[in-house]
Chain A
Amino acid sequence: MSAVIEEHHDDHHHGPDKGIMRWVLTTNHKDIGTLYLWFSFIMFLTGGVMALVIRAELFQPGLQLVQPEFFNQMTTMHGLIMVFGAVMPAFVGLANWLVPMMIGAPDMALPRMNNFSFWILPFAFAMLLSSLLMEGGAPNFGWTFYAPLSTDYGPPSTTFFIFGVHLMGISSIMGSINVIVTILNLRAPGMTLMKMPLFVWTWLITAYLLIAVMPVLAGVVTMMLMDIHFNTAFFNAGGGGDPVLFQHVFWFFGHPEVYIMILPAFGVVSAIIPTFARKRLFGYDSMVYATASIAFLSFIVWAHHMFTVGIPIAGELYFMYATMLIAVPTGVKVFNWVATMWQGSMTFETPMLFSIAFVILFTIGGFSGLMLAIVPADFQYHDTYFVVAHFHYVLVPGSVFSIMAAVYYWLPKWTGNMYNETLGKTHFWLSFIGVNITFFPQHFTGLAGMPRRIPDYALQFADYNMISSCGAFLFGFSQLLFLFIVIRTIKGGKKATDQVWEGAHGLEWTIPSPAPYHTFSTPPKDLSEAHG
């Protein structure tokens, strides 16, 4: 080991710099991927603490811990931080680490922009979080920041929120441009698009979604900024504007946004399930087309978030059927995952457990989404805890589980060490049980009529809320075990082989573990096993 280090002792181009400036100035895709992942985990814990404030207050009916004003700030900040700070940067981090290694590229196409797009994020979230300390408090109008609640009635810190969103948007757009350019221009010779691993495919499509809708988000917050400070009336009916317009523009961004958070998860699971089923992925081509179909459909269904604001019946019917249509490509995907496992020689290491849980629990979230798509039923479900249960089922055991699965799956490649399987499985089972105890009862409270975003509730909901809060604390504290496992694996452990997993396919498994600082300086020749 030491001999290897001495060989490269005075050659600055073959290893990382020393000290903190390595991380500030780095243009290496692996370093930047690591930065993204750690940033995302810090935000995950920050948003998680806010979730626990919410669940602690809802443990019993009545007001115990926090005032309603602060409660509203917690729900808003929890949503914003989890969406923009935890889930999205985690997937960008995975893309940074994995996309170049999967397509046989030496690095991302635009390394300096890559550094810049990461380092914007800490400033964006410092700005957003600092609003908690400002006079009037943090934004308190929900992560969807509907006008005029956010424009006429929002706290003064709304302006900081707007600039924070602008910065996050710039970061995402730069990251996406980088991913697209890398995938289109830097694939190893011979790697056609249909030979790319599915994670690369899903990220290519996600990146296109991002550059299509993040500018619209930037536009809508810019309109808010102008309404607040420059006397325009985009959303002010008194000046000729329309509050419903806000919802149209917001959800034109918002619906593709939810697919931005799930498509890379599809890619992760499509890499892991074949490995541990020891079969090739069933229906690779149909997976690609299904992903593209979902991405296309995401642009034409936005008003299903707005059934109750008053849409003509023809519009309601159109948006209902278009929304239900999404179940078809999603069904294709679930079918393919199950068919991949069918008659496979399955083993159940931690990444596989998270992936199987993903398939089952994401499907539950998908079904409750179908229920919400039914217009007459939606009038009952709208803005209740049923909606909260639905989107947490697709986001927590959906996106978040896939991120955890990805970390367990590729951590040996990143660090060169195997994680502790017993601890990993313990983490999985605590998370799995915690998630379901937290969110499953919320279906029932929602169907019974408990509204979302309230600090107090009717006594009839007390039992389910108490159960839900217990689950939330179990899930939340289990993540400290995750942190412990990851740090322990970085520090040492059983050495991983190059292939790491017996059934793993893909270019990233052909390079040594841990992955050297620079990989594929010469492009790989053998692409026969490029995708699972």
Chain B
Amino acid sequence: MAEPIRDPTSRPVSHRGTIFRLIGVTVGMFAFGFLLVPLYDIICDVTGLNGKTGGPYAATGELVEDLDREVTVQFITNNNAGMPWEFRPMVRSVTVNPGKMTTAEFYVRNPVDRTIVAQAVPSVTPFHAAEYFHKTECFCFEQQQLVEGQDLMMPLRFVVDPAIPKNVTTLTLSYTLFDITRDAGSLAAN
């Protein structure tokens, strides 16, 4: 321990440097707490953890259809608590060849007497397959607004990447529909 020892009685010890360093750590860690938010999204995007799917897919090259494999894609719909809409897929599952562009349709209807703005949030299981599920068009990329009694058929166009691991034979795509009427104004402003 080569650290010099100060004699507290000889003259008042200056604590200033130590205090500023420690306050620096405190402020830094407060900022780090907020940094975890974008960090979390980046890690989930890069690794596909948590079943998060990416935004609109732009094919980087021609995807070759793999006619030797079939993958079953199941569709699940959920309403978040307090969301009154009817929400269901038109088909429960489709079996596709990887690389083939496919369209599925989802039906929503607003049965209550007020206008509601909705946002669907997707999630794919198994998680490690999420990054191989590409959506070129999805109602989850935008918000839906329905007045009383209005209904809507919502399209999803997707392609399963041929590079999907061999052990994945079934993908489950789950949508949860959120009522975001309260927040819609401020979100739209962003």
Query: What are 22 A-B residue pairs whose CB atoms fall within 8 Å in the complex?
Result: A177-B19, A177-B23, A177-B26, A181-B15, A181-B19, A187-B5, A189-B5, A211-B25, A215-B28, A216-B30, A219-B30, A219-B32, A234-B37, A238-B121, A238-B178, A238-B183, A239-B119, A239-B187, A242-B40, A245-B37, A245-B40, A523-B9
User: A238 touching B80 by the CB < 8 A rule?
Assistant: yes
Q: Which residues of B contact A (CB under 8 A)?
A: 1, 3, 5-9, 13, 15, 18-19, 22-23, 25-30, 32-34, 36-37, 40-41, 44, 47, 49-51, 80-81, 119, 121, 127-128, 176, 178-180, 182-183, 186-187
A212 and B23 alpha carbons, distance in the complex (Å)? 10
CB-contact partner of B30 in A110, A184, A218, A233, under 8 A: A218
Q: How far is the CB of A225 from chain B (nearest CB, A)?
A: 13
Q: Chain B contacts of A236 at CB under 8 A?
A: 178, 183
Residue-by-residue, is A90-105 near B (CB-CB < 8 Å gives 1, otherwise 0)?
Answer: 0000000000000001
CA distance A177 to B28 in the complex (A): 14
CA–CA, A430 and B185, complex, Å: 61
Q: Are B1 and A192 in contact (CB under 8 A)?
A: yes
Q: In angstroms, how far is the closest chain A Cβ from the Cβ of B132? A: 14
Asked if A231 contacts B29 (CB within 8 A), the reply is no
The answer to whether residues A193 and B49 also contact, given A215-B26, A239-B187 and a CB cut-off of 8 A, is no
300-344 of chain A: CB within 8 A of chain B: 310-312, 315
- Given known pairs A180-B22, A192-B5, A523-B7, the reply for A238 and B51 (CB within 8 Å) is no
Asked whether A220 is an interface residue with its Cβ less than 8 Å from the other chain, the reply is: yes
Contact check, A237 vs B18: say whether CB atoms are below 8 A apart. no
Measured between beta carbons, the chain B residues less than 8 angstroms from A518 are none
Query: Do B80 and A180 have beta carbons less than 8 Å apart?
Result: no
A215 and B3 in contact (CB under 8 A), knowing A109-B15, A184-B18, A239-B119? no
Further contacts, 8 of them, CB under 8 A, given A185-B8, A237-B176, A249-B36: A110-B19, A176-B22, A180-B22, A181-B18, A211-B26, A212-B25, A237-B178, A523-B9
Q: How far is the CB of A211 from chain B (nearest CB, A)?
A: 5
A186–B13 CB distance below 8 A: yes
Flag if A312 contacts B49 (CB, 8 Å). yes
User: Given known contacts A185-B6, A190-B5, A215-B26, is B18 in contact with A239 (CB within 8 Å)?
Assistant: no
> Are A186 and B8 in contact, CB atoms less than 8 angstroms apart?
yes
Interface string of A221-263 (1 = CB under 8 A from B): 0010000000101101111001011001100110000000000
Chain A CB count within 10 A is highest, among B23, B44, B180, for B180
Given A110-B19, A185-B13, A312 and B128 touching (CB < 8 A)? yes
- Let me know if A252 and B50 touch, CB within 8 A: no
A187 to B1, CA, bound (A): 13
Q: A216-B33, A238-B180, A244-B50 are in contact. Are A185 and B15 (CB under 8 A)?
A: yes
